[in-house]
Amino acid sequence: MAVTLDGKLVIAISSRALFDLDESNQIFEEKGEEEYTKFQIEHEDELLSCGVAFPLIKRLLALRDPKTKQNMVEIILISKNDPNTGLRVFNSIEQHCLTITRAAFTRGRSPYKYLKAFNADLFLSANPEDVKLALQNGYASATIFTGDYLKKSEKMDETMDEIRIAFDGDAVIFSDEAERINVEMGLEEFKKNEAEKSEIPLTPGPFKGFLTALNKLQDTYKHYDKRPIRTALVTARNAPAHKRAIKTLRAWGIGVDEAFFLGGLDKASILESFDPHIFFDDQHTYCLNASKVVPTGHVPSGVKNDE
């Protein structure tokens, strides 16, 4: 009988989201593929430092079904390296004791078309174009900010016993249908529209499926005292627009553990307190500020990202 990943949360991740590859990527950008290949081979036995998404991935890999003790998450390395230069990444995976055994190496080509083959619930990458292509083809995807937070991510509290994931609402969990009214007609029309349609669920956004998959994982632990996953909605909405967001999640039969309706306030302070392993937002400005205090993924979806 063929091996399948059915029933597991599947996350595809690029090597630059998992490890700090800024030095070698700079060589590729400035000197080309030949020098990059030479550098990676010469350093393939040197341990790569943790990237921004490393703490999240490490903790997800540790999740076990409380009854069967089987692992519940599959991480797939999706890399634009070729197998030759990708060996350094796999060597570091082994040295960091990560149970990642499956990979796709695509040598410079965008890997988005292989997400279907792995049935991926989420794609994390440091390459904005790859993320955009994946989103356009229906996959929850985010561009990892590899800047200010990188050093702090290596020092995340190893005693932390839960995984925390935070989401923006419009254009992330929900579609951008309401946000378009805000952009095109102004805040007051947005509030009026959301109050009038508070009983009408929003259409799903690109991360609705991923949040649903997380809810299924959480359900596995519902009869146990220890619940290792905690989610939060962190949105610029406030009253009265909060009602539609809450009732949409209720209509979908999914939920979040915490919700923050900030009415346009900067999200960084709340995020620093919630301290998620990752935060997803569609607006670049919010992402930029958030990335200084928590691991952050930009979701280039919706009206705020229209070119």
| Residues labelled catalytic | 168
If you ran DSSP here, which 8-state letter would residue 267 be given?
A: S
DSSP secondary structure of 227-265: --EEEEEEES--TTTHHHHHHHHHHHT---SEEEE-TT-
Of 204, 255, 258, 259, give the one whose Cα is nearest residue 237: 259
- Ramachandran quadrant class, 264 (left: phi over 0; alpha: psi -120 to 50; beta: rest): left
Q: What is the H or E stretch that residue 167 is in?
A: strand 163-167
- Cis peptide, bond prior to residue 240, ω within 30 of zero: yes
Q: What is the H or E stretch that residue 97 is in?
A: none
Residues 59-70: b if buried by 16+ CB within 10 A, e if exposed? bbbebeeeeeee
Residues forming a β-bridge with 170 = 174
- Six token digits for residue 91: 């060597």
Residues sharing a CB contact under 8 Å with residue 37, sequence separation 6 or more, in sequence order: 82, 84, 85
